[in-house]
């Protein structure tokens, strides 16, 4: 790792943070120590970084805002890559070209200012564009798959190619990138529709009010824990079993919304994982419904 970091510095790849806790980079505020977090300055520096990582045979993971990740409490002996510098945006007509590191909430605001409709669902999702593409983030019966024209990616062979919406294989909370994590999202082209700014603003305001009333936004969480099974809501199922308010260490099934697990103070990653698995197993035992966890467990092997 020492020689690798020396080469990263020599090649002026970008900012390096050494020996940092991953709790700083996830919305759950949990996660063990990490060898380093690197912020490549641009796509060329990212390509160079990936080559160095492979040269030294290091494990790595690209993350956005960590709003769907649960890192374990043990050390991540590898490289975390953050694409914060890939944050360029261009709006031409009803088309938005935006970098993977751009904030999804900020993007929704920019679309609103340009009187473009289609991104209202993203106004409350605290992720990056790249993370949203990876997860096919969505809400209110819409998701990224409805608005993506194409995605620029870095392939495992370090080639930069465009994947069409069809090639991205978007489905409910999944995409081509989830099944091929060695591909890295660099930039996205979105195709929206012209709308009335006042109507877009009213819709976002109404949904924000609803979120504040129904979701435990006052505590660290990663949003919905489980995907909704077809024709039902995971929150309703969990609540019907009397699991609201159940705690494990500093983790709790939110009394406000049963499909949220929150860090009420000092939770470990293990507390959160154990509580998630307890809820999942309880639902399976009682209803024979196998709830699918929407969040990604990292470094638990």
What is the Cα Rg of the chain in Å? 20
Residue carrying structure tokens 């593409």: 133
Tokens of 203: 């819709």
Closest listed residue to residue 153, CA positions, set 102, 100, 101, 103:
100
Which residue is catalytic, options 72, 173, 187, 254? 173
d(CA 37, CA 82): 7
Closest listed residue to residue 130, CA positions, set 160, 152, 156, 162:
152
Confirm whether 173 is a catalytic residue: yes
Confirm whether 208 is a catalytic residue: no
Q: 48 near 7, Cβ under 8 Å?
A: no
Tokens of 90: 């261009």
Please name the residues in contact with 144: beta carbons below 8 A apart, sequence gap of 6 or more: 122, 132, 133, 136, 137, 138, 170, 175
d(CA 217, CA 199): 25
Tokens of 195: 């709308």
Which residue is catalytic, options 67, 72, 103, 224? 224
Tokens of 127: 């992720």
Confirm whether 35 is a catalytic residue: no
d(CA 158, CA 114): 35
Tokens of 219: 């505590």
Give catalytic residue positions.
173, 224, 294
């Amino acid at each position: 790792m020492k020689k690798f970091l020396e080469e990263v510095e020599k090649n002026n790849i970008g900012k390096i943070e050494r020996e940092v806790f991953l709790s700083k980079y996830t919305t759950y505020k949990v996660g063990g120590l990490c060898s380093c977090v690197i912020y490549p300055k641009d796509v060329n520096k990212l390509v160079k970084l990936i080559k160095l990582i492979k040269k030294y045979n290091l494990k790595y993971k690209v993350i956005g805002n960590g709003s769907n990740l649960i890192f374990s409490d043990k050390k991540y002996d590898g490289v975390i890559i953050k694409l914060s510098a890939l944050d360029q945006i261009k709006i031409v007509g009803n088309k938005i070209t935006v970098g993977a590191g751009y904030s999804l909430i900020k993007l929704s605001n920019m679309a609103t200012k340009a009187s473009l409709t289609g991104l209202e669902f993203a106004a409350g999702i605290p992720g990056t564009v790249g993370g949203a593409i990876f997860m096919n983030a969505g809400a209110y019966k819409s998701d990224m798959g409805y608005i993506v024209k194409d995605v620029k990616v870095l392939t495992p062979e370090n080639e930069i190619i465009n994947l069409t919406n069809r090639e991205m294989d978007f489905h409910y909370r999944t995409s081509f990138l989830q099944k091929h994590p060695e591909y890295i999202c660099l930039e996205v082209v979105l195709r929206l529709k012209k709308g009335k700014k006042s109507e877009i603003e009213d819709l976002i305001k109404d949904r924000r009010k609803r979120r504040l009333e129904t979701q435990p936004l006052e505590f660290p969480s990663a949003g919905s824990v489980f995907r909704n099974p077809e024709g039902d809501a995971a929150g309703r199922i969990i609540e019907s079993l009397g699991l609201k308010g159940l705690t494990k260490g500093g983790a709790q099934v939110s009394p406000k919304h049963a499909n949220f697990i929150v860090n009420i103070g000092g939770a470990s990653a293990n507390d959160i994982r154990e509580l998630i698995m307890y809820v999942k197993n309880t639902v399976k035992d009682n209803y024979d419904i196998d709830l699918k966890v929407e969040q990604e467990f990292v470094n638990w092997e």
